[in-house]
Structure 1
């Protein structure tokens, strides 16, 4: 792991503490401790990035797997995973790299940003997708990799939960071409009590991104939690108010991690798609 790479987006406080200002958690981190995301550490009163350039997975994926259906359809893209996440979703599909990744540390591979770009070119990829776990908590790395990738004619794609503050978001979006952003619910209580976050920063990021790059939105439908007709209508109407041609992906949940509720019936996903199509031009079912 890196021990010499200092983070951006933080303020030093008294008693050796630091306040991370990358995401809306605004973690105040004591000496030797890490933030909620698990990858930003206070080291002697400086916020450091011990997982800078540490990659958990690299794979060539269809762009539709992100899912992005209206951005270079039919192409394949090199997808890069990291570790850590600012959320604690009890249904997380990738919890082994996003939350409980301590046992994987020794198997992570280090890449400099330029090495990642070189790998994408060698694989014949049309670009780099920053995905699998939450990429935004690695803002410094992905911004540099994306800047170098664009110089080589590659596209940059985010697959993200959108939990980031506006200033660092602007720095990242400057180098991005597309994003699929999770809108996990349209209920503030769902975000605060179920995944330990806030909905408003996510909505703000979707609005911010939609002004600059191609955006598609995904909602994982969890029975009894966020799949009511009313909530589907609220999501679709809100996205349509930005632009009615933004694609919305409504996907089925399957039991994973700490959540054992039965999976979303395909019929429920298809019914939700029908509701959303009353407001949006492009709505797709997923995971069925």
Structure 2
């Protein structure tokens, strides 16, 4: 299915500038964006995956991962084919890279924004997560869905690599409640060689989303020998802490995937080391992911140390929430930052 990709503008030279992400594709008639799903047809940029969901699931919100966002609730999660990154470790490469690897073919099941919202309500979800591939590449589909979701009393979460333009964030802002943003590494070389992107726009997106009042959580997948040095881990932790010590930081374990099948899994010792570095840098909420570690998946009050949200499981999905309805520690009354209702 195709619909106008209206987050775009016509340039003086006749090309179309896509304004969704920092790839800043300038396209002539018949050309595709880096994502593989935004194409100029008839002098207008078209989103080729509008209303076509390639992956649909009902997930614990903790899987996104969002640990300070409506804990122990369900998120209706969906994504399309296509991506503006080309991460060699992508766990969803079968959909994210599908158009690029199948001669620009598009795949997915018809699912309108109205149907998505209705299904989310039917399955008892409290939020909709735009995930599995990069949501900004199917921006107009997410926008229409998010607007309807808010009208239906649902919250919206972007699970993203952080390449949104300011215009994309500002446009979606009235309906966007949370973002989990990847900081995949802390060198331009890592982003260019491993991801097909750049670091600086990601850091800018993190700052901009935080300044706009969107609830954000950060995820870093630690890959042995690529981005897991103490120095790089510390730089990421320091960047987050300098912005806000209350931003949750998820450090996750890598498993061999896609074009990195020869890279070994992340040792648990690396995750624990990253957790400790995050704490040393002053972050109040650091979490280990893709590894069952109840002590380092749970949330503790930064004032009194009480375990306010107890989590266990591979993705922290088994939850005992002791917060008050207002999001306060039941022992000392300290307010814990997050989205709790």
Mapped pair 1:285 → 2:288:
yes
1:139-150 to structure 2, matched below 5 A, reads 139-150=139-150
Determine the structure 1 residue equivalent to 2:116: 116
RMSD: 1.7
Determine the structure 2 residue equivalent to 1:159: 159
Determine the structure 2 residue equivalent to 1:215: 216
Aligned residue pairs total: 286
Mapped pair 1:255 → 2:261:
no
Deviation at 1:10, TM superposition (A): 2.0
Deviation at 1:216, TM superposition (A): 0.5
CA contact (8 A) 2:161 2:181 kept: yes
Higher deviation after alignment, 15-24 or 192-201: 15-24
| Consecutive unaligned residues in structure 1, runs of 5 or more | none
Deviation at 1:15, TM superposition (A): 6.8
- Which structure has the larger Rg over C-alpha atoms? 2
Deviation at 1:229, TM superposition (A): 0.6
Write the distance in 2 (CA, Å) between the matches of 1:125 and 1:133: 20
Deviation at 1:193, TM superposition (A): 2.6
Determine the structure 2 residue equivalent to 1:75: 73
Secondary structure of 1:238's match?
helix
1:65-116 deviation line (CA, Å, top 9, x unaligned): 0001111111111111211111111111110010125669675112221221
With normalisation by structure 2, the TM-score equals 0.80
Determine the structure 1 residue equivalent to 2:276: 274
Write the distance in 1 (CA, Å) between the matches of 2:162 and 2:81: 16
Determine the structure 1 residue equivalent to 2:233: 232
Write the distance in 2 (CA, Å) between the matches of 1:232 and 1:75: 31
CA contact (8 A) 2:19 2:167 kept: no
Secondary structure of 1:277's match?
helix
CA contact (8 A) 1:246 1:280 kept: yes
Match of 1:60 among 55, 58, 61: 58
Relative to structure 1, the CA distance from residue 281 to residue 127 in structure 2 (aligned partners, 3 Å threshold; closer, same or farther) is same
With normalisation by structure 1, the TM-score equals 0.94
1:102-113 to structure 2, matched below 5 A, reads 108-113=108-113
Match of 1:90 among 88, 108, 111: 88
Write the distance in 2 (CA, Å) between the matches of 1:30 and 1:113: 29
Mapped pair 1:200 → 2:203:
no
